[in-house]
A and B are shown apart, each in its own frame.
Chain A
Amino acid sequence: MNGVKQYFTNIWQAITTLSAGMRVTMRHLLHARKGIVTLQYPEERWPRPERNIGFPEQDYNVIRSRLHVDMDDCIGCLKCERVCPVDCIKIETVKVDKGVDIPDAGHTGITSHGTQKRLLVTRFDIDMTECCYCNLCVYPCPEECIYMVGGPNADKYPLDYEFSEYDRADMIYRFAKPETKPWAKENLPE
């Protein structure tokens, strides 16, 4: 008889203690206002933080996202390739007439800064798997054509930093116009 009584008290205790605990949980769920820190990621995003290094960001152009190159402005000076600490930028150029447009190769002779181009860039590959996002290639560029997207450059190119891929080769970004290489092979003697 005692055992049966114990059995039912145990059940009763389980129900009451569980409901007391769940009541606390429910109260917290319904009245939680402060202290919710979770970011519902795909629906909402935080602004990407830009590093503060003591300069106004418009002058210094610092954000860590994907690299992008405006090929119409690139003069093929190789400064970014040389400064890259991990050598993830590969550039090949050929010599062409100074400041002359080549419509077949998609080449414009004069950049938006007014510089006359002497070289045609046939290859401009950035391997974003090797990039360490240090921004060092951005500073020496005389034409300001290589930059990290978004942030201070958002008016040139929208922010894009989530670009995971299923294939490693897809993460090599080829910025040189595809028609430049066949044009150079046809029209320029080796």
Chain B
Amino acid sequence: MAKDGSGNIIVAPLNKLLNWARSTSPWYFQFGLACCAIEMMATAASRHDLERIGMMPRSSPRQADVMIVAGTVTMKMALRIKRLYEQMAEPKYVVSMGSCATSGGPYWQYGYHVLKGVDLVIPVDVYVPGCPPRPEQLIEGLLRLQEKIQKERPVQEIIVPNIKEILKKKKNKEKKK
């Protein structure tokens, strides 16, 4: 493949396909930390119905794509959140739901036990405002996440470098032989 950028024309539909598949079925990791979890449950229930946009609750981080951090992140829970995030398989996204998860919320000043924003521990893609956010607000945040996923270029950024690495390893093995 020539390195003048013309290769992108070939992989653009593949990018589109991958992004379509990723963005229309982001299964979310089902765990709630505080009152925002009640709203998250309401969003998943039949009134607002998250399965409408292809989101299904998963109880294991291994099967989940999106982590909705719903609620106050205490110092004790922050370690667990980091571990759970690391257990999720790529591609993984994080939605910070509500004031507490985004910046500590009402505890930002005097909360000795609250993490001042979950982005100190894990990278966050979308911040949803509200205390707690209404289901509509959460869905709007998730639609924004979908928009963000659709702008990605997984072939150039993930697949091609991975293939190159694999080929390198193969060459090294052959050299050793």
Contacts and interface: CB of A to CB of B under 8 A. Distances in A.
Interface of A: 37-42, 45-46, 48, 66, 85-88, 127-133, 161-168, 171
Interface string B93-106: 00000010011111
A166 B148 contact: yes
Interface residues of B, number: 33
A37 B47 contact: yes
Contacts of B136: 41, 45-46, 161-162
B105 A164 contact: no
A86 B108 CA distance: 8
Contact of B103 (A40, A127, A164): A127
B48 A168 contact: no
A150 to B, nearest CB: 12
A85 B109 CA distance: 10
B131 A162 contact: no
Interface string B30-55: 00000000000000001111001000
Interface in B108-137: 108-109, 117, 119, 124-131, 134-137
B118 to A, nearest CB: 10
A149 to B, nearest CB: 13
B140 interface: yes
B144 A166 contact: yes
B128 A164 contact: yes
Given A46-B136, A164-B126, A171-B127, 5 more contacts: A86-B108, A129-B102, A168-B119, A168-B124, A168-B127
A40 B117 CA distance: 31
17 contacts: A39-B48, A42-B140, A48-B134, A66-B129, A85-B106, A129-B102, A129-B105, A129-B117, A129-B129, A130-B99, A130-B108, A132-B99, A161-B136, A164-B126, A164-B137, A165-B129, A166-B125
